[in-house]
């Protein structure tokens, strides 16, 4: 299992616009091979930003990488570089991919 996270440093005051953009977007993931689940996360506030993260669980790292080369990925990121979108952020998003080494479930 593989978790792909993108960390977004959202400028103070832009939280509502950022959340609206994400919560109203078209979602292209549901039928992508290897996709398991997506979550939008709101994390801690720093001095000059609020941390948000997209959090996507994939069956394997290979399934995630296949998706990044697909038309579905290009459709999903068509607007990501626009000036209106960039102004929401303090700096570019930071990608981190995680391999799952151990899972413990509720008894």
Q: Which residues bind a copy of itself (CB under 8 A)?
A: 1, 3, 19, 22-23, 27, 29-31, 35-44, 51, 53, 55, 96-107
Phi then psi for residue 73, to 5 deg, are: -65, -45
CA–CA separation, 104 vs 107, rounded Å? 9
Q: How far apart are the first and last CA of the chain?
A: 21
Q: 6 and 53 in contact (C-beta within 8 Å)?
A: yes
Q: How far is CA 37 from CA 9, 45, 46, 75, in A?
A: 22, 25, 27, 18
* CB of 80 or CB of 100, closer to a copy of itself: 100
Shortest separation between residue 78's beta carbon and a copy of itself, angstroms:
18
* CB of 25 or CB of 74, closer to a copy of itself: 25
* CB of 83 or CB of 101, closer to a copy of itself: 101
Shortest separation between residue 5's beta carbon and a copy of itself, angstroms:
9
Shortest separation between residue 59's beta carbon and a copy of itself, angstroms:
10
């Amino acid at each position: 299992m593989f978790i792909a996270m993108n960390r977004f440093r959202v400028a103070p005051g832009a939280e509502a616009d950022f959340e609206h953009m994400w919560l109203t977007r078209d979602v292209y993931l549901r039928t992508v091979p290897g996709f398991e689940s997506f979550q939008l996360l709101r994390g801690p506030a720093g001095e000059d930003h609020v941390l948000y993260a997209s959090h996507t669980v994939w069956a394997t790292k290979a399934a995630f990488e296949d998706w990044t080369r697909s038309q579905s990925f290009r459709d999903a990121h068509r607007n990501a570089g626009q000036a209106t979108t960039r102004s929401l952020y303090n700096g570019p998003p930071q990608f981190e991919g995680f391999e799952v080494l151990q899972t413990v479930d509720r008894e």
